[in-house]
Structure 1
Amino acid sequence: MKNILIIEDEKDLTELLVFNLEKEGFKMQWSYDGLEGLEAARRDPPDLIVLDLMLPGMMGTDVCKELRKDGRTSQVPVLMLTAKGEEIDRVVGFEVGADDYLVKPFSMRELLLRIRAILRRCDSQPASAAEGGISIGDISIETERHRVLSAGNEVELTSTEYKLLLYLAERPGRVLSRELLLQNVWSYNNVGDTRTVDTHITRLRGKLGKPGDLIKTVRSFGYKIEE
């Protein structure tokens, strides 16, 4: 049974989410305060966190930053909720390490689709994981340890960033559309914003530094990685 932590200050919404997700077979925890939610995540790391952007105690962005810095929670996927549909909120959410975002109001069906897609993505084992690893230029991926080196320096990636890099690296030179990446990295089928891919690619390149230039943009289509 998967354990989900909801950090959301709207009590009516939280109760609705808890009720519906428990019906779907999830074990639920919840908090109405950002700082208390962070402590709950550290005390008993869940399989997924649904995190509101605007919270008392500590803002959702700051909670996400702290989650990513803590070894106990650094790989826990985060689905961020926001009452705003502005581009800046989406970008900021991804920059602090959120795996996906959902704009209020949303349907329970859409929330469930996102949650299940994230959990499938985290449960899936890359096909190359049994092999020693992959190297492209100055980027090395140690698949058994889920470790990435860029020019010899270890790079801390979120679970989504890691899977995105691995998916590209397993197909060097092949042009991959944004839709294909959404399907195979995010596990979305006809659901999801292709700008999600663009934002993650930008963040991934930034973390990799100069070797990140190996990830090429193919105008109006998608991305590829090659030396």
Structure 2
Amino acid sequence: MPAGHHTVLLVGAGADPRDLLVQQGYRVLLASTSVQARAMMVRDMPRLVVIDLAGIEQDGPGLLAWLKTTPVSVGIPVILLATTDRRDERLTGLAAGADEVLAHPLDGDELCLRVRNLLRLSTASPQGLSGVAQQVAIL
């Protein structure tokens, strides 16, 4: 499926990630707060969320928890952009439910590939990545 068919919500992110994803053909929504992000999830139903902890650090963990437990967003892949490349920060993000954790400084090519791959996985299952995880657990 072409990238243009997918909407990505960027929360707390600057122009660089937005520009990279727009160049790849994604429709990109920007939210600067977790309140805006929640409203956009309900209204616009994006297929993937990127949370930049450098731009929304205090609200990031709460937003991630909300995304992973709210019916409208369960199964939607979430990428965290961590403030550093420290192992403990990456593991904390993954343990909290993030599907991927990337570090600043951001590698634009890696971000685009991870977005593409997560969207491909989530589109393959009607339940998103949660459904894929359940299918793997059954095997």
Which structure 2 residues correspond to residues 54-65 of structure 1 after superposition, within 5 A? Answer: 54-56=54-56, 58-65=58-65
Contact 2:77 2:129 in 1 (8 A): yes
- Give, in whole Å, the separation in 2 of the partners of 1:119 and 1:18: 17
Instruction: Determine the structure 2 residue equivalent to 1:41.
Output: 41
Which structure 2 residues correspond to residues 1-227 of structure 1 after superposition, within 5 A? Answer: 1-9=5-13, 14-56=14-56, 58-125=58-125, 159-160=129-130, 162-170=131-139
- Give, in whole Å, the separation in 1 of the partners of 2:22 and 2:35: 24
Give the TM-score of the pair, scaled to structure 2.
Answer: 0.83
Structure 1 residue runs of 4 or more that deviate by more than 3 Å after TM superposition:
54-58
CA displacement, residues 33-57 of structure 1 (integer Å, 9 cap, x when unaligned): 2332222223222000011224448
Deviation at 1:66, TM superposition (A): 0.9
| Structure 2: tracts of 5 or more residues without a match | none
- Give, in whole Å, the separation in 2 of the partners of 1:52 and 1:90: 13
- Give, in whole Å, the separation in 2 of the partners of 1:80 and 1:45: 18
The 3-state SS of whatever aligns with 1:38 is: helix
Counterpart residue identity of residue 135, structure 2: L
Counterpart residue identity of residue 89, structure 1: E
- Give, in whole Å, the separation in 2 of the partners of 1:76 and 1:124: 12
Highest RCO, 1 vs 2 (Cα 8 Å, sep ≥ 6): 2
- Give, in whole Å, the separation in 2 of the partners of 1:68 and 1:4: 16
- Give, in whole Å, the separation in 1 of the partners of 2:56 and 2:122: 29
| Structure 1: tracts of 5 or more residues without a match | 126-144, 147-157, 171-227
Q: Percent identity?
A: 21
Deviation at 1:58, TM superposition (A): 4.8
Which protein is richer in helix relative to its size? 2
Deviation at 1:163, TM superposition (A): 2.3
Counterpart residue identity of residue 129, structure 2: S
Contact 1:4 1:49 in 2 (8 A): yes
Counterpart residue identity of residue 49, structure 1: V
- Give, in whole Å, the separation in 1 of the partners of 2:10 and 2:42: 14
The 3-state SS of whatever aligns with 1:72 is: coil
Deviation at 1:124, TM superposition (A): 1.8
Contact 1:35 1:58 in 2 (8 A): no
- Give, in whole Å, the separation in 1 of the partners of 2:109 and 2:57: 30
